[in-house]
Every structure is written in C-alpha cells, then in structure tokens.
Amino acid sequence: MVGLPGAGKTTRARELAAAHDALRLTPDEWMISLFDGTQPDGKRDLVEGRLIALALRALSVGTDVVLDFGLWGRDERSALRWLAVSVGASCRVVYLPVAEDVQRARIAHRQATAPHTTFPMAEADIGVWRDQFQAPDAAELRGGPTIPNPPSGWTGWQAWAVDRWPSLDLEPPGAS
C-alpha cells in the first residue's frame, strides 16, 4: 500500500486482505499496541523490519501479504519488490493518491472519532509530508520483472533494505 496518511490505505488493505485471504501487516497497529499509543523515536523502522521479515516468511510458504506501510519512497518500494521476488513471490504496488483537502478532513475525522487507532498529526506536518512523498510512476504501478538498481554506493537491494530497516533479519532462501 502506497500513500500518505488519510489516503485510505488501511481501509483498502483490509479489503485486499479479505479478498485474497492475505495476512495484513500495519505498523501503526503494532506501534500503538507495543508502545502504549506513543511513537518513540527510532522504533518504527525496527517494527517495520520485523514485519517485513514476517511478510517474507509468509510469502515463502505461500501466504499472500498486504503491507500497509505507506512506503513514501521509491527506494523502499523497489527494495520490497526485490525482496518479494527473492522469495519467489510477485509484488503489486497499490497507490492511493489523496487531495490535500480530503487528506486533512480524513485525518481530523479519524483523530476526533477514533484517536486510539492513530498517532497525533500536527497540521504543519501534512505539507512537509506531501513534499517528501514520491508518488509511484506508471512503470512502478505496472510492476513487471524490471526493478531499478539500488542507489549509488549500495551493492544490492538486500544491503540497502537491512540498512533502512535495521531489525530486518533475512534468512537465506530455502531456510526455515
């Protein structure tokens, strides 16, 4: 799932998980439960790394997975596509764009009606996040076998991913 807060990712992830009998992994749900509703610095990347490792294990035994992460950067998405292929799975990028006024209204509604399901978001952060977000292009959305090379300085997507998500423990292919 690719999109900003308020885009409808979790709603769509739930629909996809139900339709495909898939495991849905949503970091916010884990973070809220594990850290008593707070978002401590540095913990999100650790939680995401463990969820990615779980997703790869599930994929390797034939279980479909929906990662409801947001995935704002192309490199994150490319690394995850590469990791999926490395365990013999395919990967589809589902992008949910959202207009800024709609995004703000959805965030305000969620914080007013279900604050226990989300983290507080400052009004000023929304614009910053929109500037940081890298929308997927047509090639990414089409998928296919071509995954771009990792950024300069990286030997491969596995090395990049382990650096990005420090708790990502990758088993060698075929290991159990």
Per residue in 144-158, pLDDT (tens digit) is: 778 999 999 999 999
CA distance 82 to 105: 35
Per-residue confidence (pLDDT) for residue 161, from 0 to 100: 97
**Rounded to whole angstroms, what are the CA distances from 107 to 37, 72, 163?**
17, 17, 31
CA distance 43 to 119: 14
Rg (CA), the chain: 16
CA distance 93 to 57: 19
As to burial, measured by CB atoms within 10 angstroms (0-12 exposed, 13-18 middle, 19+ buried), residue 128 is exposed
- 23-25/65-67 β-pairing: parallel
Tell me which residue of 5, 9, 18 sits closest to 96, measured CA to CA: 9
Residue-level length of the chain: 176
In this structure, what token pair is assigned to residue 108? 């305000």
Side chain identity at 137, as an amino acid letter? D
CA distance 60 to 169: 14
The matching CATH number, chosen from 1.10.8.60, 3.60.20.10, 3.40.50.720, 3.40.50.300, for 9-164 is: 3.40.50.300
Regions of the chain with pLDDT less than 50:
none
Per-residue confidence (pLDDT) for residue 171, from 0 to 100: 67
CA distance 71 to 29: 16
Helix (H) or strand (E) holding 24: strand 23-25
In this structure, what token pair is assigned to residue 120? 């507080």
Per-residue confidence (pLDDT) for residue 169, from 0 to 100: 87
